[in-house]
Structure 1
Amino acid sequence: MAVSFLERAQAWLFKALMGVLLAFFQMFSSPKPGVSSKKLPPVDNPLLLMSATQLATKIRRKEVSSVEVVQAYIDRIQEVNPFLNAVVKDRFAAALQESAQVDKLIEEESGGEEVLEDRLPLLGVPLSVKESFALQGMPFTTGVVSRQGVVSNTDAPPVALLKRAGAIPLCVTNTSELCMWWESSNHLYGITNNPYNLERIPGGSSGGEGSILGGAGAVIGIGSDIGGSIRIPSFFNGVFGHKTTPGVVSIENQYPTLSGRQEEYVSAGPMCRYAEDLLPMLKIMAGPKADMLSLNKKVDLKKLRFFTIPHDGGSPLVSPVSKEIIDIQRKMVKRLEADLGVKVQEVQFPELCHSFHIWNTYMSLPDKEGKPPVPFAALMGEPGRPVWPLWELLKRMVGKSEHTMAAISVALFGLFRVSNPVTSVIQKEKLQKDVEELLGNDGVLFYPPHPRVAPKHHHPLFRFFDFTYTAIFNTLGLPVTQCPLGLGEEGLPLGVQVVAGKLQDHLTLAVALYLEKAFGGWRDPGAK
């Protein structure tokens, strides 16, 4: 399907508009002095270099206490968060009390290590939580100034399940305003930095999670993803993240609430530094729905069918994929073929160049009762009236708006219809059919997570649509694991999306384990 003249005209118009907005924004913004000359201190505590699975084993065996582990992570957060601004509220005192109770429980447990492992697989392990998830006693604002002071009185189901498995929450982490942008910045908590380069973004909306994980201030965390909000931060910060098949992990007690048909495209899932933690975390977070997935099924990678797509085919809206992203994916393919003796077939789907229009159309569809999604401008105005985007833009130019330029841009964008719903539905249905037929229940697909490595702060305003490399898989409802593949020319993380058929999450998690061994997984940003 060729790109139409109308789509090219839209691309030019919106890129021009975003360029003007970015220029205005930079005129009224001043960079932080000296930030580029700073970098994170290296990790010097060996406890910070162990997976959650390893830590839980050592805690159960009394080789290390939960108090020691929790204190190590508290110390690391206090060391790196002044650089990152990833953690927006901590519960360190409560976490230390809970870790002391864990150590006491282990001393008194008469059933042995196996009983504890079965009942409390993450006993004593620290956890970070995206601030858009309800965590009892912690802020629940998603960076909206009008929600300042809102505190959750409950836990979101996946958070509750992780706590029930023994994990100890240490903190909540920063998001983009209302979780609808791929840079984590808001006027309530400020801007979050990338641990590999403080002038670069950590992604969004789970950018605080990605940043504190990448900076070794956390070992496991929890994120949500409706357009790439787990995978983009995982890519930019060099960690693992998994977008679960929708409908498996509960999305209740998150803010903002979803409307229209958006529940069909959002997923909650694990984020972590070590691939071996993905599967046990997903088992826990899925709760009673874990049986929908084949997580206990052993995967023989040599028996899988592998496919690779180097780019979307040339969408005029999206930046071209950089040479280093294409090259690392080719290198990964060659390594996979050499190690496993398999053949990775390069494929292409013409509909991918329409990814933004497809995602945008389906995000805008009404629910079964015909009720359309709540406009973004209305969410920005809650609990009052919807905001007027143009008025907020004028206020922003004189420093009087409570909203970020990104949020205002998203609201402005909502004033225009840029997709033909009928055309987009036809394109999506063909793409869905072709991809599902290709993958079946034994196929794995590799696809770039983004056209470029982590950009500089505020630059996403000029590359408004680049998130669609991840967003298309939300619309298709497929599980995806984001995997790091080392560092690039600028010392920034490289990576790849690993995609499988619906409910075949175990395949992408198995590939993640292989890629971690082959390419080294997470790298300490302070050790460069």
Structure 2
Amino acid sequence: MKTVLIHKITIKEDENHYEGISFDVSEAAAVVTDDLLPDRLIDCLFGLYYKSKRKYISPPTNLLVCESATSLAEKIRNKTVSCEQVVQAFINRIEEINGVVNAIVGCRFDAAIQEAKSIDANIKNGLITDKTFEAKPFLGIPYTTKESSSCKGMRNTFGLIARQNKIAEEDADIVKLMTNAGAILVGVSNMPQLNMWQETDNPIYGRTNNPYDSTRNAGGSCAGDCAAIAAGGVPIAVGTDIGGSVRIPAFMNGIFGHKTTSGLISTKGLTNRTGLEKVTMLTAGTLTKTANDIAPLLKILVDKNVDKLKLDEKVNVKNIQVFYTLETEDLKISPFTPEMKNKIVKVVKHFENNSNIPPQKLDIPEFKFGGDLWRYWIRQEDNVNYARDFTGCTGKVNVFIEFLKLLIGQSNYNIGALLTIFNEKLPIKKKQWIETTTEQLLQRLMSKLGENAVLIYPSAPFTASYHNASVLRPWNFNYFAIWNALKFPVTQVPLGLDSQGLPLGIQVVAPPYQDHLCIAVAKELENAFGGYVPPFDLQTK
């Protein structure tokens, strides 16, 4: 038995046994000594390299930056704080932490302060009323989005040398929607080249570091947004997800990331998208510190499609059927650490003890083909050609020559970009097999989940690894990518920290248009397990 302190709530747990769910200790030990050996060796070697390189972020001097967006919006409405005070607090925090995490790569601080002052003046003059606050739920709330999401007057390089002088001429539709909701853009965030890798690094802005440990991967492609939120730089952000881009960095940075049901949010202005694409897995999503912020932010983004969801419907979580999958048989994915598997087991145990319907294990053979399905469907995207797109549509990358140039430090592309282009050249399974398997998997899931069930699904085999280690285990993102291929809504939920102080988490999956079920379960798990844990000690008097 051991005692664990989580958000000042002391609980006792036995890691090796959960009533109703068996997890053999000897089996776990065998996994550590056998299957996990290659990953342990990778971590050991990378750990030796990064030893003594770690930098730490300082605690915030203003505790306003620890609050949720909805809490801050209510304080502005009640005139407890001013918009200027809120925006200035987060700007100050970005300046405190950005030297360590390198999350925000383009700032509009002066413009943001002026917008905040204008709102304050209109509140004081009575031009902003309760009706205004109802129409603009995030009035005065600062936020960020990726640099690849077009923001008028801001750089829009996608991390590509060929676009290094590119300035956005208009706002992406999601940015317009946020402006209409009263939110204030304070800056744009870092991302991988063309958003296509599991780690955020590019030759324009450099690498984003994990705020929990600066020697660790912050994920991709919304790592800048997620690192900023976790470190207290902004309360919310708007991301995009085509292969885990919202959920991977949300997992690694210990926050909530919601990938919306596909097809509900305009893609215009998002990394070369026109909004007219007929075939795409890309969708915008929400990034928040608390589950309570997800639905209000999602309502803004889905705009006129809000009636297609049930975001205001009350959900009794006790009456939801919970399915769970501990791991798949995908041999390309690393084995799970006992800590990660134990956390999933504890989640299932929570529902076993607190639900009217017992959780059920769901092992579907097609899960192991998630990566294969995604690799096929990413090639069906309208107007996507990576060898062309990585040049800023000015030519075509010769990936083999660029690999040689990379070895002598002369390439315009990093290893993640080149592996992405190379992956486009690799053979994939036949069209008929992929489309048949996709349909079979969809039918199996829909028949099980119906309209009142969710699936607890793994996020990753282990927490954030050292920088560049993802090159040696590139397929671990399959746990995320499968849900893009199927276009299901998913909420990434933080579940505290592991023994190294790095965020743990799981995915909550629901059928299309059942986003509200994901969000309801996310709230339940936040209440049960504590949710987001700051990467710093709060200094309270």
User: Normalization by structure 1: what TM-score?
Assistant: 0.90
CA shift, 1:240, in A, is 0.4
Report the counterpart of residue 521 of structure 2 in structure 1. Answer: 511
Matches within 5 A, 1:149-164: 149-164=165-180
Contact 2:218 2:249 in 1 (8 A): yes
Note the alpha carbon deviations across 1:403-461, whole angstroms, 9 max, x for none.
Answer: 11111111122222133332222221111110111111111110011122111101111
SS of structure 2 residue aligned to 1:403:
coil
SS in 1 for 2:215: coil
Aligned-partner residue type, residue 53 of structure 2: V
1:440 aligns with 2:450: yes
Unaligned ranges ≥5, structure 2: 1-38
The superposition leaves residues 124-176 of structure 1 with CA deviations (integer Å, 9 ceiling, x where unpaired) of: 11111111111111111110111012111211111111111110011100001
> Shift of the alpha carbon at 1:123?
0.7
What do the CA deviations read for 1:62-107 (whole angstroms, capped 9, x no partner)?
1001111111101110000000011101110110001001111111
Letter paired with 2:160: V
Deviating 4+ runs (over 6 angstroms) = 30-33, 258-262
SS at match of 2:390: helix
Q: Which amino acid aligns with 1:504?
A: Q
Q: SS at 1:401's partner residue?
A: coil
- The Cα shift of 1:366 comes to 6.9
Distance verdict in 2 for CA 1:248–1:260, change over 3 Å: closer
In the alignment, which of 70, 79, 82 is matched to residue 53 of structure 1? 70
Is residue 68 of structure 1 aligned with residue 85 of structure 2? yes
Are positions 1:126 and 2:142 aligned together?
Answer: yes
1:86 aligns with 2:103: yes
1:339-488 paired onto structure 2 within 5 Å: 339-365=354-380, 373-488=383-498
Q: Deviations over 1:25-81 (max 9, x none)?
A: x99xx9789432x21112342211211001011111110011111111011100000
Contact 2:268 2:275 in 1 (8 A): no
Aligned 8 A contact 1:134 1:156 in 2: yes
Distance 1:446 1:120 in 2: 34
Q: Distance in 2 between matches of 1:256 and 1:446?
A: 33
Tell me if 1:35 matches 2:45. Answer: no
Distance in 1 of aligned mates of 2:184 and 2:276: 35
Residue type of the alignment partner of 1:317: K
Deviation per residue, 1:230-254 (Å, 9 max, x gap): 0000000000010000111111111
* Equivalent pair of 2:106/2:189 in contact (CA under 8 Å): yes
CA distance in 2, matches of 1:276, 1:262: 32
Task: Give the letter for the 2:58 counterpart.
Answer: P
- Map of 1:220 onto structure 2: 236
In the aligned structure 2, how far is the partner of 1:446 from the partner of 1:33?
35
Are residue 235 (structure 1) and residue 251 (structure 2) matched?
Answer: yes
1:15 alignment counterpart: none
CA deviations 1:157-202 (Å, max 9, x no partner) are 1111111111001110000110111100001100000000101011
| Secondary structure of the corresponding residue to residue 234 of structure 2 | coil
Q: What is the root-mean-square deviation in Å for CA atoms of aligned residues? A: 2.1
| 8 Å contact kept, 2:161–2:412 | yes
Task: Name the CA distance, whole Å, in 2 between partners of 1:261 and 1:68.
Answer: 41
Decide whether aligned partners of structure 1 residues 257 and 111 sit closer, same or farther in structure 2, where only a CA change above 3 A counts: closer
Task: After TM superposition, give the deviation of residue 332 of structure 1 in Å.
Answer: 1.2
Match of 1:208 among 224, 230, 237: 224
8 Å contact 1:260–1:374 — kept in the other structure? no
> Where does residue 248 of structure 1 map in the other structure?
264
The amino acid across from 1:461 in the alignment is: V
Within 2, Cα distance between the matches of 1:526 and 1:262? 44
Listed as ranges, the matches of 1:309-320 within 5 Å are: 309-312=325-328, 314-320=329-335
Displacement, 1:383? 3.4
| Structure-1 separation of matches of 2:53 and 2:225 | 21
Alpha-carbon separation, structure 2, partners of 1:389 and 1:366: 21
Matched, 1:328 2:338: no
Q: Which amino acid aligns with 1:453?
A: T
Task: State the match for 1:100 in structure 2.
Answer: 117
Query: What amino acid is the match of 2:201?
Result: S
Runs of 5+ consecutive residues of structure 1 not aligned to the other structure: 1-18, 368-372
Distance 1:31 1:387 in 2: 31
